[in-house]
A and B are shown apart, each in its own frame.
Chain A
Amino acid sequence: MPDKRLLALGAALLAACAFFLFWGLKGPTGFILELRATKLAALLLVGAAVGISTVVFQTVTGNRILTPSIMGFDSLFLLVQSLMVLTMGSLGYAMADGPAKFLLDTALMMAASLALFSLLMGRGRGDLHRMILVGVIFGLFFRSMTAFVLRLIDPSEFAVVQQVMFASFGAVDTTQLAMAAALFVPVFAAIWKLAPALDIVALGRDSAIGLGLRHDRLSTVLLLLVAALVAVSTALVGPVSFLGLLVAALAHQLMQTPRHVLLLPAAALISGLVLVIGQGVFERILGLQSTLAVIIEFFGGLLFLYLVLGGRRR
């Protein structure tokens, strides 16, 4: 029997989707619906990718504070984008936008993330202080590199970079979306198959090996899958730094279980819920475009603080 909380989340998500699709619908209905459906698909896909990848990442690295984006992943993305603008100029950058650039972005981010993650997995793994330090240092490094590159860019071309600096669900390319979906589905399936093993990974390396798991190999595989998810969602809509943190914390708080068969769907559903409701309210009710990311950053940070401070209660 499916878990009640998951059912409730699912129902809430369905309602949110209906609101997103049909609220204030007027004019050429078919066209607008198609536009909204594309956007909705992107929100759900990115939501699931961010939620699931963060939960898996935190389980494998054995911490609840670091996420791929806090490790400077989004900053790396910005760095790559601003380097592209610098070398190609804003015109070349705009022209390069398309399937090829999407694939290139994804490949680049995957390679970089593997390098980053392997730093976490070496000696001193499980040492939370060291991991956070590494994460913060890299985040800082990429950010200041980006700031430096931005200074070199012509002011008139700056706007192009600024556009990718915050996540944008405003203009999602359908070809990119299809490619992302084609990549996500097998990755989700692989992670789902490993969900019971993830419960054991969460016990830490020694216990996992003692219980007969090929821990080191499995961790690498899992981090590769995480890298794929993070890379694709970043390439698709840009960085959403605090979303993963927020969603993983909420999923753990709500489910109170070590079982990833429950945690992973919960994270995916909550993530979708946050994005769909957030974007829906912004576009339909407030009539604003593309500032959802700012709000997620704000509330993500706030709620996380609240969870950290209040988390030791029952």
Chain B
Amino acid sequence: MIAIRNLSHRIGGAPILTDVTLDLPKDGITAIIGPNGAGKSTLMGLMARLLPIQEGKVEVDGLCVTRTRTDLLAKRLAIVTQRVGVASRLRVGDLVGFGRWPHHHGRPRPEDHEAVERALEAFDLVELRDRFLDELSGGQNQRAFIAMGLAQETDWLLLDEPLNNLDMYHARALMARIHALSRAGGRSVVMVVHDINYAAAWADHVVALKDGRLADQGAPRDVLTAPKLSELFGMEIGVEEINGRPTVLHHA
């Protein structure tokens, strides 16, 4: 479980997150939803110690993220951020290989190579492994970074908008893959999703943020209702039940 207690964050005096208290259940997929600028990425950054915690507390499976050694945390929790820029000229295979760093610190063993192979296969990247990152399409690039997070083989995987840039095929394949991991692999996934229908179809738990505050949380069917979503995004949103799942009609 990731336990978030009274978490507040300010940047230059402006409140970004205000008093967020939240439990993210272990096992399964948690989807974080909310409008642009709601503080989703900030929340992820604080959970993954990318930002210093100013007020409040975050514990990952009982480990306080500010006090636990960062190299130990790297074996528990992996994060793929929204905007990743890499200065060096990397091949896909190298990038995914770096996901194993927390386990071998520069001296890869056979099991590390196997983990890299698995991650490459999982994301359809085997053929692209020798390509340079700057020669990939946006979606291929995105998949390479997610594969790196996957190769880290941590209990927790935090993905900030992993569906960005992905076509329908790869978006669904990614969700199916993550879903399988969260079931058979015993891994817990927290992801920021903008397309609510993916949250409705795959998530076990939904967290809604608005203006830096927790707006709602619970099972998809309880959170993803027409009145709640309309309120959250400030627009008229219809929700229909299709194949037993809430389906959001927000396009027109």
A interface list, Cβ under 8 A from B: 58-59, 62-64, 126, 196-197, 199-200, 202-207, 209-214, 252, 256-259, 314
Contacts and interface: CB of A to CB of B under 8 A. Distances in A.
A202 B71 CA distance: 17
B105 A204 contact: no
B98 A199 contact: yes
A22 to B, nearest CB: 39
B62 interface: no
A288 B212 CA distance: 69
B78 interface: yes
Nearest to A261: B106
A214 to B, nearest CB: 6
Contacts of B98: 199-200, 203, 207, 211
16 contacts: A196-B105, A196-B106, A196-B107, A199-B106, A200-B101, A203-B86, A204-B84, A209-B48, A209-B49, A210-B74, A211-B74, A211-B102, A211-B152, A212-B71, A212-B74, A258-B88
B51 to A, nearest CB: 10
B79 interface: yes
A59 to B, nearest CB: 7
A48 to B, nearest CB: 21
Contact of B84 (A64, A199, A207): A207
B99 A202 contact: no
Contacts of A211: 74, 98-99, 101-102, 152
Contacts of A209: 48-50, 70
B186 to A, nearest CB: 21
A202 B85 contact: no
Contacts of B48: 209-210
Nearest to A312: B134
B14 interface: no
Interface residues of B, number: 35
A63 B78 contact: no
A129 B99 CA distance: 29
Contacts of A64: 87
Given A210-B48, A212-B101, A204 B74 contact: no
Interface string B148-173: 11001000000000000000000000
Contact of B72 (A62, A199, A210, A212): A212
Nearest to A195: B106
Interface in B50-88: 50, 70-75, 78-81, 84-88
Contacts of B87: 58-59, 62-64, 202, 204
Given A211-B99, A211-B102, A211-B152, A258 B81 contact: no
B79 A210 contact: yes
A206 B79 contact: yes
Contacts of B149: 210
The 5 closest A-B pairs by CB, nearest first: A212-B74, A196-B106, A212-B71, A202-B88, A62-B87
B166 to A, nearest CB: 20
A258 B94 contact: yes
A258 B49 CA distance: 25
A196 B75 CA distance: 18
A204 B82 CA distance: 13
Contacts of A259: 94
Given A196-B107, A211-B101, A258-B89, 13 more contacts: A126-B85, A197-B106, A203-B88, A204-B84, A206-B45, A207-B84, A207-B98, A210-B50, A212-B102, A213-B71, A256-B89, A258-B94, A259-B94
B90 interface: yes
Nearest to A61: B87
Interface string B16-58: 0000000000000000000000000000010011100000000
